Amino acid sequence: MMEPTSAYTPSPTRYDAMTYNRCGSSGLKLPAISLGCWHNFGDHTPFETMRQLTRTAFDHGITHFDLANNYGPEPGSAECNVGQLLRTDFAAHRDELIISTKAGYEMWPGPYGDLGSRKYLIASLDQSLKRLGLDYVDIFYHHRMDPETPLEETMGALAQIVASGKALYVGLSNYDGPTLEKAAAILDELQVPFIINQNRYNIFDRTVETNGLKETSQRLGRGLITFSPLDQGLLTDRYLDGVIPSDSRIATDGRFLHAGALTEDKLKQIHDLNNIAAMRGQTLAEMALAWLLHDDAVTSVLVGASKPEQLLANLKALENTEFTDRELSVIKFISLA
């Protein structure tokens, strides 16, 4: 059965307001804000909502859609849904898009559906390409470190994937600095275009600053794309009064953020940061995104949205990414208190 086509004409001004940053020392540029398809592209989301999210993103210069094999729910459903949109809405614009996906977390039963073996990574990407309806992805990531598999095997699989034409570039996700450095040396020797790291980073979670990832990535000329920039909603005005909205992440999905996170100390931090944002003429969410975007080490920030209005609100962060030294110092003091 043929899928219905869509009469979608992108905005002719879609590239006018977006900033595009180079991935480290590579030739590839990414939009400062990218669309993350982690939470809102599974089968629980109405297809028309996904259509409006991707159209709104592309109409405003967001050319990068980020996926993984296990994004859903259910695992694989985000790739299936985005794949349908690529066929019906974006078929004429494939060469304007960066499509990335990953493998590293459990995807199917048994010893070959998880972590970092050559068997798993190559099989997983083949499955991802079928779900997406693509011949290749632009970036393929190993999704997490695997202490059980020799790093040479995992990096060798990424080399084979690029050589086969199934990915143009490779990236590493959720690595630390020392492991990144070892992996980069192997990939350099194999002449693999490893250009980017993907890691969690926000005002409250500064792990990449302490585990060597940020410094090493910048020193080696690799890009950094960050996820969870709003710390699952804590860095917004949703919880300022201490009440949990019925449609919030805490209320609807307790896997990654639970009510226990809203301690008195955390609420005070949120209030103090919100006051700084207000003095800057921004919402707390806008300031949290701008804080990342001001950093030369950060290539792009992944944002998720459940409706187009949220995506448009996030894009407003691009209007002011300058911070005084005092603002940065106070933000750091509050976040580490």
Residue where the block lists tokens 């000329």: 221
For residues 101 and 65, is the Cβ–Cβ distance under 8 A? no
Angle between helices 177-189 and 151-163 (to 10 degrees): 50
How would you classify the pairing of strands 194-200 and 223-227?
parallel
For residues 270 and 284, is the Cβ–Cβ distance under 8 A? yes
> What CA–CA distance (Å, rounded) separates 139 from 170?
5
Cα distances from 331 to residues 10, 132, 277, 325, in angstroms, run 38, 41, 10, 10
pTM above 0.85, yes or no: yes
Count other C-beta atoms under 10 Å from residue 310's C-beta.
Answer: 17
pLDDT at 1: 39
User: What single-letter DSSP state applies at residue 38?
Assistant: S
pLDDT at 29: 98
CATH number listed for the domain at residues 20-238+295-318: 3.20.20.100
> What CA–CA distance (Å, rounded) separates 75 from 56?
25
Closest alpha carbon to 39 in 247, 237, 249, 284: 249
Residue where the block lists tokens 């953020």: 257
Q: E-strand spans in 174-308?
A: 194-200, 223-227, 300-303
pLDDT at 248: 52
Residue 39 tokens read as 């939470």
Could you state, in chain order, the average pLDDT of each consecutive group of 10 residues for the chain (337 residues)? 70 98 98 97 97 98 98 97 98 98 98 98 98 98 98 98 98 98 98 98 98 98 98 92 60 56 91 97 98 98 97 98 98 95
Closest alpha carbon to 25 in 219, 286, 202: 219
Count other C-beta atoms under 10 Å from residue 205's C-beta.
Answer: 18
Residues near 122 by beta carbon (within 8 Å), at least 6 away in sequence? 157, 160, 161
Closest alpha carbon to 101 in 115, 117, 74, 82: 82
The residues spanned by each domain of the chain are 20-238+295-318
* Distance, C-alpha 81 to centroid of its chain: 17
Residues near 245 by beta carbon (within 8 Å), at least 6 away in sequence? 238, 251
User: What single-letter DSSP state applies at residue 2?
Assistant: P
3-state helix, strand, coil in the chain (%, to 5): 40, 15, 45
For residue 66, the number of C-alpha atoms closer than 13 Å in the C-beta half-sphere is: 26
pLDDT at 261: 78
pLDDT at 257: 56
User: What single-letter DSSP state applies at residue 129?
Assistant: H
Q: E-strand spans in 84-238?
A: 98-103, 137-142, 167-173, 194-200, 223-227
Q: 22 by DSSP, 3-state: which? A: strand
